[in-house]
Structure 1
Amino acid sequence: MISIQWIVLAIIQGVTEFLPISSSAHLILPAQILGWADQGLAFDVAVHVGSLLAVIIYFRKALIDITANFFLRLAQKPCDSNLANQGWLILIGTIPAVIFGFLMEHVIETYLRSILVIAMTTTLFGLLLWFADVKAKQVKSLDAIGWKEALAVGFAQALALIPGTSRSGITMTAGLLLGMHKVDAARFSFLLSIPLILAAGTLKTIELLQSPSSYDIQAIAFGSVLSFISAFACIVLFLKWIERSGFLPFVVYRLALGAVLFYLYFS
Protein backbone atom coordinates (compact mmCIF):
# COMPACT_ATOMS: atom_id res chain seq x y z
CA MET A 1 0.00 0.00 0.00
CA ILE A 2 1.11 3.54 -0.65
CA SER A 3 1.44 5.57 2.55
CA ILE A 4 -1.57 7.83 1.93
CA GLN A 5 -3.79 4.76 1.68
CA TRP A 6 -2.92 3.25 5.06
CA ILE A 7 -2.95 6.67 6.75
CA VAL A 8 -6.47 7.39 5.50
CA LEU A 9 -7.78 3.89 6.25
CA ALA A 10 -6.29 3.80 9.76
CA ILE A 11 -7.85 7.15 10.67
CA ILE A 12 -11.18 6.11 9.11
CA GLN A 13 -11.18 2.90 11.16
CA GLY A 14 -10.42 4.73 14.40
CA VAL A 15 -12.95 7.51 13.89
CA THR A 16 -15.83 5.52 12.46
CA GLU A 17 -15.59 2.44 14.72
CA PHE A 18 -17.37 4.28 17.52
CA LEU A 19 -19.38 6.93 15.67
CA PRO A 20 -22.89 5.94 14.50
CA ILE A 21 -21.92 6.13 10.81
CA SER A 22 -20.55 2.63 9.98
CA SER A 23 -16.85 1.82 9.95
CA SER A 24 -17.30 -1.06 7.50
CA ALA A 25 -18.94 1.24 4.97
CA HIS A 26 -16.13 3.76 5.16
CA LEU A 27 -13.47 1.06 4.81
CA ILE A 28 -15.17 -0.55 1.80
CA LEU A 29 -15.93 2.67 -0.08
CA PRO A 30 -12.39 3.99 -0.69
CA ALA A 31 -11.47 0.75 -2.45
CA GLN A 32 -14.58 0.84 -4.63
CA ILE A 33 -14.60 4.56 -5.40
CA LEU A 34 -10.84 5.28 -5.61
CA GLY A 35 -9.81 1.91 -6.98
CA TRP A 36 -7.46 1.13 -4.10
CA ALA A 37 -6.26 -2.43 -3.70
CA ASP A 38 -7.46 -4.36 -0.67
CA GLN A 39 -5.47 -3.25 2.39
CA GLY A 40 -4.76 -6.84 3.39
CA LEU A 41 -5.63 -8.95 6.40
CA ALA A 42 -2.57 -7.94 8.46
CA PHE A 43 -3.42 -4.25 8.17
CA ASP A 44 -7.07 -4.98 8.97
CA VAL A 45 -6.02 -6.75 12.18
CA ALA A 46 -3.65 -3.91 13.11
CA VAL A 47 -6.23 -1.11 12.86
CA HIS A 48 -8.80 -3.15 14.78
CA VAL A 49 -6.26 -3.76 17.53
CA GLY A 50 -5.65 -0.01 17.68
CA SER A 51 -9.34 0.81 18.11
CA LEU A 52 -9.76 -2.04 20.62
CA LEU A 53 -6.92 -0.71 22.78
CA ALA A 54 -8.48 2.76 22.68
CA VAL A 55 -11.83 1.66 24.10
CA ILE A 56 -10.18 -0.63 26.67
CA ILE A 57 -7.90 2.14 27.94
CA TYR A 58 -10.71 4.71 28.04
CA PHE A 59 -12.99 2.39 30.04
CA ARG A 60 -10.19 0.68 31.96
CA LYS A 61 -11.50 1.52 35.44
CA ALA A 62 -15.05 0.49 34.58
CA LEU A 63 -13.81 -2.73 32.99
CA ILE A 64 -11.72 -3.64 36.04
CA ASP A 65 -14.65 -2.95 38.38
CA ILE A 66 -17.15 -4.84 36.20
CA THR A 67 -14.85 -7.84 35.77
CA ALA A 68 -13.94 -8.03 39.46
CA ASN A 69 -17.55 -7.86 40.63
CA PHE A 70 -18.70 -10.26 37.90
CA PHE A 71 -16.34 -12.96 39.20
CA LEU A 72 -17.15 -12.14 42.81
CA ARG A 73 -20.80 -12.77 41.96
CA LEU A 74 -19.89 -16.08 40.32
CA ALA A 75 -17.96 -17.05 43.46
CA GLN A 76 -21.00 -16.04 45.56
CA LYS A 77 -18.99 -13.46 47.47
CA PRO A 78 -20.04 -9.90 48.44
CA CYS A 79 -19.96 -7.59 45.42
CA ASP A 80 -21.49 -4.51 43.81
CA SER A 81 -24.61 -6.02 42.23
CA ASN A 82 -24.96 -3.26 39.63
CA LEU A 83 -21.43 -3.77 38.33
CA ALA A 84 -21.80 -7.55 38.38
CA ASN A 85 -25.04 -7.22 36.42
CA GLN A 86 -23.28 -5.06 33.83
CA GLY A 87 -20.88 -7.95 33.24
CA TRP A 88 -23.81 -10.25 32.56
CA LEU A 89 -25.46 -7.66 30.29
CA ILE A 90 -22.30 -7.35 28.18
CA LEU A 91 -22.03 -11.13 27.93
CA ILE A 92 -25.71 -11.54 26.95
CA GLY A 93 -25.53 -8.66 24.47
CA THR A 94 -22.52 -10.22 22.72
CA ILE A 95 -24.05 -13.66 22.04
CA PRO A 96 -26.39 -12.80 19.09
CA ALA A 97 -23.65 -11.15 17.01
CA VAL A 98 -21.27 -14.08 17.60
CA ILE A 99 -23.90 -16.61 16.47
CA PHE A 100 -25.10 -14.50 13.54
CA GLY A 101 -21.54 -13.82 12.42
CA PHE A 102 -20.65 -17.52 12.52
CA LEU A 103 -23.72 -18.55 10.53
CA MET A 104 -23.88 -15.68 8.03
CA GLU A 105 -20.26 -14.67 7.41
CA HIS A 106 -20.11 -16.23 3.93
CA VAL A 107 -23.42 -14.70 2.83
CA ILE A 108 -22.40 -11.25 4.07
CA GLU A 109 -18.95 -11.36 2.46
CA THR A 110 -20.35 -12.66 -0.83
CA TYR A 111 -23.57 -10.71 -1.35
CA LEU A 112 -23.79 -7.71 0.98
CA ARG A 113 -20.53 -5.78 0.56
CA SER A 114 -21.78 -3.52 -2.24
CA ILE A 115 -22.41 0.20 -2.67
CA LEU A 116 -26.16 -0.37 -3.07
CA VAL A 117 -26.44 -2.31 0.18
CA ILE A 118 -24.37 0.30 2.02
CA ALA A 119 -26.50 3.11 0.58
CA MET A 120 -29.72 1.41 1.70
CA THR A 121 -28.57 0.52 5.21
CA THR A 122 -26.87 3.87 5.75
CA THR A 123 -30.10 5.69 4.90
CA LEU A 124 -32.57 3.35 6.60
CA PHE A 125 -30.76 3.05 9.90
CA GLY A 126 -29.89 6.74 9.85
CA LEU A 127 -33.62 7.53 9.78
CA LEU A 128 -34.23 5.01 12.56
CA LEU A 129 -31.56 6.71 14.67
CA TRP A 130 -33.29 10.05 14.12
CA PHE A 131 -36.64 8.56 15.17
CA ALA A 132 -35.14 7.07 18.33
CA ASP A 133 -33.35 10.30 19.21
CA VAL A 134 -36.51 12.38 18.82
CA LYS A 135 -39.24 10.03 20.06
CA ALA A 136 -37.70 7.75 22.70
CA LYS A 137 -38.31 8.57 26.38
CA GLN A 138 -34.64 8.22 27.44
CA VAL A 139 -35.28 7.77 31.16
CA LYS A 140 -33.28 4.61 32.05
CA SER A 141 -29.72 4.36 33.25
CA LEU A 142 -27.51 1.38 32.44
CA ASP A 143 -28.17 0.03 35.94
CA ALA A 144 -31.92 -0.01 35.23
CA ILE A 145 -31.90 -2.40 32.26
CA GLY A 146 -32.12 -6.18 32.46
CA TRP A 147 -31.25 -9.21 30.38
CA LYS A 148 -34.17 -8.70 27.97
CA GLU A 149 -33.00 -5.21 27.03
CA ALA A 150 -29.40 -6.42 26.75
CA LEU A 151 -30.50 -9.23 24.44
CA ALA A 152 -32.51 -6.81 22.30
CA VAL A 153 -29.45 -4.57 21.92
CA GLY A 154 -27.44 -7.71 21.16
CA PHE A 155 -29.76 -8.64 18.28
CA ALA A 156 -29.43 -5.07 17.01
CA GLN A 157 -25.65 -5.45 17.16
CA ALA A 158 -25.95 -8.62 15.06
CA LEU A 159 -27.63 -6.58 12.31
CA ALA A 160 -24.52 -4.40 12.19
CA LEU A 161 -22.64 -7.22 10.47
CA ILE A 162 -24.45 -5.97 7.35
CA PRO A 163 -22.17 -3.24 5.93
CA GLY A 164 -23.49 0.28 6.31
CA THR A 165 -25.64 -0.47 9.35
CA SER A 166 -23.08 0.78 11.90
CA ARG A 167 -22.53 -1.32 15.02
CA SER A 168 -22.38 1.70 17.30
CA GLY A 169 -25.29 3.38 15.51
CA ILE A 170 -27.71 0.45 15.69
CA THR A 171 -26.85 -0.44 19.30
CA MET A 172 -27.30 3.17 20.41
CA THR A 173 -30.57 3.30 18.48
CA ALA A 174 -31.77 0.15 20.21
CA GLY A 175 -30.73 1.53 23.58
CA LEU A 176 -32.63 4.76 22.97
CA LEU A 177 -35.75 2.88 21.82
CA LEU A 178 -35.57 0.82 25.03
CA GLY A 179 -35.66 4.06 27.02
CA MET A 180 -32.00 4.53 27.91
CA HIS A 181 -30.35 7.92 28.37
CA LYS A 182 -28.16 8.95 25.44
CA VAL A 183 -24.89 8.69 27.36
CA ASP A 184 -25.85 5.35 28.90
CA ALA A 185 -26.85 3.98 25.50
CA ALA A 186 -23.50 5.11 24.09
CA ARG A 187 -21.58 3.72 27.07
CA PHE A 188 -23.26 0.32 26.73
CA SER A 189 -22.56 0.35 22.99
CA PHE A 190 -18.85 1.01 23.62
CA LEU A 191 -18.62 -1.71 26.28
CA LEU A 192 -20.36 -4.18 23.94
CA SER A 193 -17.80 -3.43 21.24
CA ILE A 194 -14.92 -4.83 23.31
CA PRO A 195 -15.70 -8.58 23.22
CA LEU A 196 -16.92 -8.34 19.63
CA ILE A 197 -13.81 -6.56 18.30
CA LEU A 198 -11.66 -8.91 20.37
CA ALA A 199 -13.40 -11.97 18.91
CA ALA A 200 -13.19 -10.65 15.34
CA GLY A 201 -9.54 -9.69 15.80
CA THR A 202 -8.71 -13.12 17.21
CA LEU A 203 -10.33 -14.88 14.26
CA LYS A 204 -8.54 -12.62 11.78
CA THR A 205 -5.23 -13.24 13.57
CA ILE A 206 -5.73 -17.01 13.38
CA GLU A 207 -6.56 -16.66 9.69
CA LEU A 208 -3.46 -14.54 9.23
CA LEU A 209 -1.21 -17.10 10.94
CA GLN A 210 -2.64 -19.90 8.80
CA SER A 211 -1.76 -18.06 5.59
CA PRO A 212 1.64 -16.48 6.24
CA SER A 213 2.91 -13.93 3.77
CA SER A 214 5.12 -10.85 3.71
CA TYR A 215 3.82 -7.85 5.65
CA ASP A 216 4.42 -4.13 5.41
CA ILE A 217 5.64 -3.65 8.98
CA GLN A 218 5.61 0.13 8.66
CA ALA A 219 1.98 0.16 7.54
CA ILE A 220 0.96 -2.22 10.32
CA ALA A 221 2.76 -0.27 13.06
CA PHE A 222 1.66 3.21 12.01
CA GLY A 223 -1.81 1.95 11.12
CA SER A 224 -2.40 0.58 14.62
CA VAL A 225 -1.06 3.76 16.26
CA LEU A 226 -3.15 6.08 14.08
CA SER A 227 -6.23 3.94 14.64
CA PHE A 228 -5.66 4.05 18.42
CA ILE A 229 -5.18 7.83 18.54
CA SER A 230 -8.18 8.63 16.34
CA ALA A 231 -10.43 6.11 18.15
CA PHE A 232 -9.52 7.40 21.61
CA ALA A 233 -10.10 11.02 20.58
CA CYS A 234 -13.38 10.01 18.98
CA ILE A 235 -14.68 8.34 22.16
CA VAL A 236 -13.78 11.34 24.34
CA LEU A 237 -15.30 13.93 22.01
CA PHE A 238 -18.38 11.87 21.13
CA LEU A 239 -19.43 11.28 24.75
CA LYS A 240 -19.02 14.98 25.50
CA TRP A 241 -21.00 15.87 22.37
CA ILE A 242 -24.06 13.71 22.97
CA GLU A 243 -24.17 14.70 26.63
CA ARG A 244 -24.99 18.22 25.42
CA SER A 245 -26.60 17.53 22.05
CA GLY A 246 -28.34 14.81 20.10
CA PHE A 247 -27.61 12.56 17.14
CA LEU A 248 -28.97 14.88 14.44
CA PRO A 249 -25.58 15.75 12.85
CA PHE A 250 -24.83 12.05 12.41
CA VAL A 251 -28.28 11.46 10.94
CA VAL A 252 -27.76 14.27 8.44
CA TYR A 253 -24.33 12.89 7.54
CA ARG A 254 -25.75 9.41 6.98
CA LEU A 255 -28.53 10.71 4.75
CA ALA A 256 -26.05 12.78 2.72
CA LEU A 257 -23.71 9.80 2.42
CA GLY A 258 -26.60 7.59 1.39
CA ALA A 259 -27.62 10.06 -1.31
CA VAL A 260 -24.07 10.16 -2.70
CA LEU A 261 -23.88 6.38 -2.71
CA PHE A 262 -27.20 6.03 -4.53
CA TYR A 263 -25.93 8.55 -7.10
CA LEU A 264 -22.69 6.61 -7.58
CA TYR A 265 -24.55 3.34 -7.95
CA PHE A 266 -27.13 4.54 -10.48
CA SER A 267 -24.90 6.93 -12.45
Structure 2
Amino acid sequence: MSLFHIFLVAIIQGITEFLPVSSSGHLILLPALTGITDQGLAIDVAVHVGTLGAVILYFWADVRKAALGTPRMLTGRTDTEGSRLAFLLLIATIPVVIVGACLSALDLSSALRSVKVIGWTMLVFGIVLWWADQRGASHKTAADWNLRDAIVMGLWQALALIPGTSRSGITITGARQLGYERSEAARLAMLMSIPTIIASGVLLGVEVYATADFETAKDCAFAAVFAFGAAYLALGLMMRLLQSINFTPYVIYRIALGLVLLWIAYTTGDPMGPPA
Protein backbone atom coordinates (compact mmCIF):
# COMPACT_ATOMS: atom_id res chain seq x y z
CA MET A 1 0.00 0.00 0.00
CA SER A 2 1.11 3.54 -0.69
CA LEU A 3 1.65 5.90 2.22
CA PHE A 4 -1.14 8.13 0.87
CA HIS A 5 -3.60 5.21 0.86
CA ILE A 6 -2.64 4.31 4.44
CA PHE A 7 -2.95 7.95 5.48
CA LEU A 8 -6.38 8.28 3.82
CA VAL A 9 -7.78 5.15 5.48
CA ALA A 10 -6.34 6.10 8.88
CA ILE A 11 -7.66 9.66 8.77
CA ILE A 12 -11.15 8.50 7.74
CA GLN A 13 -11.18 5.91 10.52
CA GLY A 14 -9.74 8.30 13.08
CA ILE A 15 -12.17 11.12 12.37
CA THR A 16 -15.31 9.01 12.03
CA GLU A 17 -14.74 6.36 14.74
CA PHE A 18 -16.09 8.48 17.59
CA LEU A 19 -18.29 10.90 15.67
CA PRO A 20 -21.87 9.61 15.21
CA VAL A 21 -21.43 9.12 11.45
CA SER A 22 -20.17 5.49 11.16
CA SER A 23 -16.48 4.74 10.59
CA SER A 24 -17.17 1.26 9.20
CA GLY A 25 -19.64 2.69 6.70
CA HIS A 26 -17.08 5.20 5.43
CA LEU A 27 -14.31 2.58 5.18
CA ILE A 28 -16.59 0.22 3.25
CA LEU A 29 -17.60 3.03 0.91
CA LEU A 30 -14.03 4.17 0.20
CA PRO A 31 -13.07 1.31 -2.16
CA ALA A 32 -16.65 0.92 -3.43
CA LEU A 33 -17.04 4.51 -4.61
CA THR A 34 -13.44 5.41 -5.53
CA GLY A 35 -12.09 2.20 -7.01
CA ILE A 36 -9.19 2.20 -4.52
CA THR A 37 -8.11 -1.28 -3.50
CA ASP A 38 -9.59 -2.42 -0.22
CA GLN A 39 -7.16 -1.74 2.60
CA GLY A 40 -7.32 -5.28 3.96
CA LEU A 41 -7.80 -6.78 7.38
CA ALA A 42 -4.35 -5.89 8.77
CA ILE A 43 -4.86 -2.16 8.22
CA ASP A 44 -8.38 -2.41 9.67
CA VAL A 45 -6.89 -3.84 12.86
CA ALA A 46 -4.14 -1.19 12.94
CA VAL A 47 -6.49 1.79 12.64
CA HIS A 48 -8.72 0.32 15.34
CA VAL A 49 -5.68 0.02 17.62
CA GLY A 50 -4.89 3.66 16.91
CA THR A 51 -8.39 4.85 17.78
CA LEU A 52 -8.40 2.64 20.87
CA GLY A 53 -5.26 4.39 22.09
CA ALA A 54 -6.89 7.78 21.49
CA VAL A 55 -10.04 7.08 23.51
CA ILE A 56 -8.05 5.49 26.34
CA LEU A 57 -5.77 8.53 26.57
CA TYR A 58 -8.63 11.05 26.36
CA PHE A 59 -10.68 9.34 29.08
CA TRP A 60 -7.67 8.13 31.05
CA ALA A 61 -9.12 9.03 34.45
CA ASP A 62 -12.21 6.85 33.85
CA VAL A 63 -10.20 4.08 32.19
CA ARG A 64 -7.72 3.95 35.08
CA LYS A 65 -10.59 3.83 37.56
CA ALA A 66 -12.24 0.91 35.74
CA ALA A 67 -8.94 -0.92 35.28
CA LEU A 68 -8.09 -0.67 38.99
CA GLY A 69 -11.61 -1.81 39.87
CA THR A 70 -11.57 -4.84 37.55
CA PRO A 71 -9.85 -7.28 39.97
CA ARG A 72 -12.43 -6.43 42.63
CA MET A 73 -15.25 -6.79 40.10
CA LEU A 74 -13.95 -10.24 39.09
CA THR A 75 -14.37 -11.37 42.68
CA GLY A 76 -18.04 -10.43 42.53
CA ARG A 77 -17.76 -7.15 44.43
CA THR A 78 -18.99 -3.93 42.84
CA ASP A 79 -18.98 -1.76 45.93
CA THR A 80 -16.45 0.80 44.67
CA GLU A 81 -16.78 3.32 41.87
CA GLY A 82 -14.12 1.59 39.77
CA SER A 83 -15.45 -1.96 40.19
CA ARG A 84 -18.97 -0.77 39.45
CA LEU A 85 -17.85 0.98 36.24
CA ALA A 86 -15.91 -2.10 35.14
CA PHE A 87 -18.96 -4.30 35.78
CA LEU A 88 -21.34 -2.04 33.86
CA LEU A 89 -18.94 -1.82 30.90
CA LEU A 90 -18.74 -5.62 30.86
CA ILE A 91 -22.53 -5.95 30.91
CA ALA A 92 -22.93 -3.34 28.16
CA THR A 93 -20.51 -5.26 25.91
CA ILE A 94 -22.28 -8.64 26.10
CA PRO A 95 -25.08 -7.89 23.55
CA VAL A 96 -22.68 -6.80 20.78
CA VAL A 97 -20.51 -9.89 21.35
CA ILE A 98 -23.52 -12.23 21.14
CA VAL A 99 -25.03 -10.55 18.07
CA GLY A 100 -21.61 -10.36 16.38
CA ALA A 101 -21.04 -14.07 16.96
CA CYS A 102 -24.48 -14.86 15.49
CA LEU A 103 -23.86 -12.74 12.39
CA SER A 104 -20.50 -14.42 11.90
CA ALA A 105 -21.91 -17.91 12.39
CA LEU A 106 -24.72 -17.24 9.91
CA ASP A 107 -22.28 -15.53 7.49
CA LEU A 108 -24.50 -12.45 7.31
CA SER A 109 -21.81 -9.78 7.77
CA SER A 110 -20.82 -9.71 4.09
CA ALA A 111 -24.45 -9.50 2.97
CA LEU A 112 -24.88 -6.26 4.92
CA ARG A 113 -21.88 -4.54 3.28
CA SER A 114 -23.74 -2.74 0.51
CA VAL A 115 -24.27 0.87 -0.50
CA LYS A 116 -28.04 0.42 -0.15
CA VAL A 117 -27.75 -0.83 3.42
CA ILE A 118 -25.31 1.94 4.38
CA GLY A 119 -27.51 4.56 2.71
CA TRP A 120 -30.62 3.45 4.60
CA THR A 121 -28.85 3.10 7.95
CA MET A 122 -27.21 6.51 7.55
CA LEU A 123 -30.62 8.05 6.86
CA VAL A 124 -32.83 6.16 9.30
CA PHE A 125 -30.51 6.10 12.30
CA GLY A 126 -29.61 9.74 11.69
CA ILE A 127 -33.28 10.64 12.08
CA VAL A 128 -33.53 8.41 15.17
CA LEU A 129 -30.52 10.21 16.69
CA TRP A 130 -32.17 13.58 16.01
CA TRP A 131 -35.44 12.39 17.59
CA ALA A 132 -33.72 11.08 20.72
CA ASP A 133 -31.54 14.17 21.03
CA GLN A 134 -34.45 16.59 20.69
CA ARG A 135 -36.94 14.71 22.87
CA GLY A 136 -34.59 13.18 25.40
CA ALA A 137 -34.37 14.72 28.86
CA SER A 138 -30.99 15.84 30.22
CA HIS A 139 -31.13 15.01 33.91
CA LYS A 140 -28.70 12.08 34.13
CA THR A 141 -24.91 12.03 34.38
CA ALA A 142 -22.42 9.18 34.17
CA ALA A 143 -22.71 8.80 37.95
CA ASP A 144 -26.34 7.70 37.43
CA TRP A 145 -25.38 4.83 35.11
CA ASN A 146 -26.96 1.63 36.42
CA LEU A 147 -27.45 -2.00 35.41
CA ARG A 148 -30.70 -1.40 33.52
CA ASP A 149 -29.23 1.49 31.52
CA ALA A 150 -26.08 -0.49 30.73
CA ILE A 151 -28.19 -3.35 29.33
CA VAL A 152 -30.37 -0.98 27.29
CA MET A 153 -27.38 0.89 25.88
CA GLY A 154 -25.66 -2.43 25.16
CA LEU A 155 -28.66 -3.52 23.08
CA TRP A 156 -28.57 -0.25 21.18
CA GLN A 157 -24.84 -0.72 20.59
CA ALA A 158 -25.43 -4.15 19.05
CA LEU A 159 -27.31 -2.45 16.19
CA ALA A 160 -24.00 -0.90 15.16
CA LEU A 161 -22.98 -4.22 13.61
CA ILE A 162 -25.13 -3.14 10.66
CA PRO A 163 -22.75 -1.04 8.50
CA GLY A 164 -23.60 2.66 8.43
CA THR A 165 -25.36 2.64 11.80
CA SER A 166 -22.43 4.13 13.78
CA ARG A 167 -21.47 2.54 17.07
CA SER A 168 -21.03 5.86 18.82
CA GLY A 169 -24.13 7.33 17.19
CA ILE A 170 -26.50 4.53 18.13
CA THR A 171 -25.11 4.28 21.67
CA ILE A 172 -25.47 8.03 22.14
CA THR A 173 -29.03 7.69 20.80
CA GLY A 174 -29.79 5.12 23.49
CA ALA A 175 -28.21 7.27 26.19
CA ARG A 176 -30.11 10.40 25.16
CA GLN A 177 -33.35 8.40 25.08
CA LEU A 178 -32.61 7.34 28.65
CA GLY A 179 -32.17 10.96 29.72
CA TYR A 180 -28.40 11.46 29.84
CA GLU A 181 -26.92 14.89 29.16
CA ARG A 182 -25.31 15.22 25.73
CA SER A 183 -21.70 15.26 26.90
CA GLU A 184 -22.39 12.48 29.42
CA ALA A 185 -24.11 10.38 26.75
CA ALA A 186 -21.04 10.79 24.54
CA ARG A 187 -18.71 10.00 27.46
CA LEU A 188 -20.50 6.73 28.24
CA ALA A 189 -20.60 5.81 24.54
CA MET A 190 -16.84 6.37 24.27
CA LEU A 191 -16.12 4.28 27.36
CA MET A 192 -18.34 1.51 25.99
CA SER A 193 -16.28 1.55 22.80
CA ILE A 194 -13.13 0.43 24.62
CA PRO A 195 -14.05 -3.20 25.43
CA THR A 196 -15.87 -3.46 22.09
CA ILE A 197 -12.84 -2.33 20.09
CA ILE A 198 -10.57 -4.59 22.16
CA ALA A 199 -12.82 -7.61 21.53
CA SER A 200 -13.07 -7.02 17.77
CA GLY A 201 -9.35 -6.17 17.55
CA VAL A 202 -8.35 -9.43 19.24
CA LEU A 203 -10.57 -11.48 16.94
CA LEU A 204 -9.31 -9.77 13.80
CA GLY A 205 -5.74 -9.73 15.08
CA VAL A 206 -5.69 -13.51 15.40
CA GLU A 207 -6.56 -13.78 11.70
CA VAL A 208 -3.89 -11.27 10.70
CA TYR A 209 -1.07 -12.68 12.85
CA ALA A 210 -0.49 -15.79 10.74
CA THR A 211 0.09 -13.81 7.53
CA ALA A 212 1.89 -10.74 8.89
CA ASP A 213 5.33 -9.78 7.50
CA PHE A 214 7.71 -6.85 7.96
CA GLU A 215 6.17 -4.74 5.18
CA THR A 216 2.67 -5.29 6.55
CA ALA A 217 3.85 -4.48 10.07
CA LYS A 218 5.39 -1.22 8.85
CA ASP A 219 2.19 -0.20 7.06
CA CYS A 220 0.17 -1.05 10.17
CA ALA A 221 2.43 1.06 12.38
CA PHE A 222 1.92 4.10 10.17
CA ALA A 223 -1.83 3.48 10.04
CA ALA A 224 -2.11 3.19 13.82
CA VAL A 225 -0.20 6.44 14.42
CA PHE A 226 -2.21 8.41 11.85
CA ALA A 227 -5.51 7.03 13.19
CA PHE A 228 -4.51 7.82 16.77
CA GLY A 229 -3.80 11.47 15.96
CA ALA A 230 -6.96 11.98 13.92
CA ALA A 231 -9.17 10.22 16.49
CA TYR A 232 -7.77 12.17 19.44
CA LEU A 233 -8.32 15.51 17.70
CA ALA A 234 -11.82 14.59 16.49
CA LEU A 235 -12.82 13.28 19.91
CA GLY A 236 -11.57 16.37 21.69
CA LEU A 237 -13.35 18.66 19.24
CA MET A 238 -16.66 16.80 19.56
CA MET A 239 -16.59 16.78 23.36
CA ARG A 240 -15.88 20.53 23.45
CA LEU A 241 -18.59 21.33 20.90
CA LEU A 242 -21.18 19.35 22.87
CA GLN A 243 -20.93 21.95 25.61
CA SER A 244 -22.67 24.43 23.30
CA ILE A 245 -24.37 22.57 20.40
CA ASN A 246 -26.52 19.50 19.90
CA PHE A 247 -26.12 16.54 17.51
CA THR A 248 -28.06 18.17 14.65
CA PRO A 249 -24.96 18.95 12.47
CA TYR A 250 -24.07 15.24 12.48
CA VAL A 251 -27.68 14.34 11.70
CA ILE A 252 -27.71 16.69 8.70
CA TYR A 253 -24.49 15.11 7.42
CA ARG A 254 -25.91 11.59 7.86
CA ILE A 255 -29.15 12.41 6.07
CA ALA A 256 -27.35 14.14 3.18
CA LEU A 257 -24.87 11.29 2.73
CA GLY A 258 -27.64 8.69 3.08
CA LEU A 259 -29.72 10.34 0.35
CA VAL A 260 -26.72 10.56 -1.99
CA LEU A 261 -25.86 6.88 -1.43
CA LEU A 262 -29.45 5.79 -2.02
CA TRP A 263 -29.57 7.85 -5.22
CA ILE A 264 -26.36 6.15 -6.41
CA ALA A 265 -27.59 2.69 -5.44
CA TYR A 266 -31.02 2.98 -7.03
CA THR A 267 -30.13 4.95 -10.16
CA THR A 268 -26.69 3.71 -11.21
CA GLY A 269 -26.65 0.38 -9.42
CA ASP A 270 -25.09 -0.66 -6.13
CA PRO A 271 -21.26 -0.66 -6.60
CA MET A 272 -21.02 -3.37 -3.97
CA GLY A 273 -24.04 -5.38 -5.01
CA PRO A 274 -24.15 -8.45 -7.24
CA PRO A 275 -23.67 -7.92 -10.99
CA ALA A 276 -26.82 -7.11 -12.93
**Percent identity among equivalent residues?**
41
Correspondence 1:75-224 to 2 at 5 A: 81-105=80-104, 106-212=106-212, 215-224=215-224
Instruction: Give the deviation of 1:66 after TM superposition.
Output: 2.3
Using the size of structure 2 for normalisation, the TM-score is 0.91
Partner SS, residue 28 of structure 1:
helix
Deviation at 1:48, TM superposition (A): 0.8
Q: CA-to-partner distance for each residue in 1:164-219, whole Å, 9 max, x for gaps?
A: 00000000000000111111111110011111101111111111123456744442
Alpha-carbon distance change, 215 to 70 in structure 1, aligned in 2, over 3 angstroms: same
Report the Cα distance in structure 1 between the residues aligned to 2:184 and 2:82, rounded to whole angstroms: 14
Deviation for aligned residue 1:80? 6.8
1:149 & 1:195 partners in 2: Cα distance? 17
Distance 1:227 1:165 in 2: 20
Runs of 4+ in 1 over 3 A off after TM superposition: 69-77, 79-83, 210-218
Q: 1:44 Cα shift? A: 1.2
CA distance in 2, matches of 1:125, 1:264: 19
Q: CA deviation at 1:249?
A: 0.2
SS of the aligned residue for 1:244 comes to: coil
Report the 3-state secondary structure (helix = DSSP H, G, I; strand = E; otherwise coil) of the residue aligned with 2:113: coil
2:248 is the alignment partner of 1:234: no
Amino acid at match of 2:103: M
CA displacement 1:45-104 (0-9 Å, x = unmatched): 111110111111112222112222343455588x87333322211111000001111111
Determine the C-alpha separation between the residues in 1 that align with 2:75 and 2:263.
Answer: 57
Q: Give, as a single letter, the amino acid of the residue that structure 1 aligns with 2:100.
A: G
Instruction: Show the counterpart of 1:261.
Output: 261
Q: Provide the TM-score with structure 1 as the length reference.
A: 0.94
Structure 2 runs not aligned, ≥5 long:
268-276
Q: What CA distance in whole angstroms lies between the structure 2 residues aligned with 1:3 and 1:213?
A: 17
Residue 139 of structure 1 contacts residue 179 of structure 1 at CA under 8 Å; is this kept in 2?
yes
Could you say if the C-alpha distance between residues 144 and 260 of structure 1 is closer, same or farther in structure 2, counting changes exceeding 3 Å? Answer: same
Q: CA RMSD in A?
A: 1.8
Give 1:236's aligned amino acid.
Answer: G
Are the equivalent residues in 1 in contact too, given 2:21–2:166 (CA < 8 A)? yes
Contact 1:108 1:162 in 2 (8 A): no
- Structure 1 residue runs of 5 or longer lacking an equivalent are none
Q: Deviations over 1:109-144 (max 9, x none)?
A: 221000000000000000000001110112111121
C-alpha distance in 2, partners of 1:257/1:56?
A: 30
Cα distance 1:98–1:73, how it changes in 2: closer, same or farther (>3 A)?
A: closer
Q: Distance in 2 between matches of 1:148 and 1:92?
A: 10
| 2:69 partner letter | N
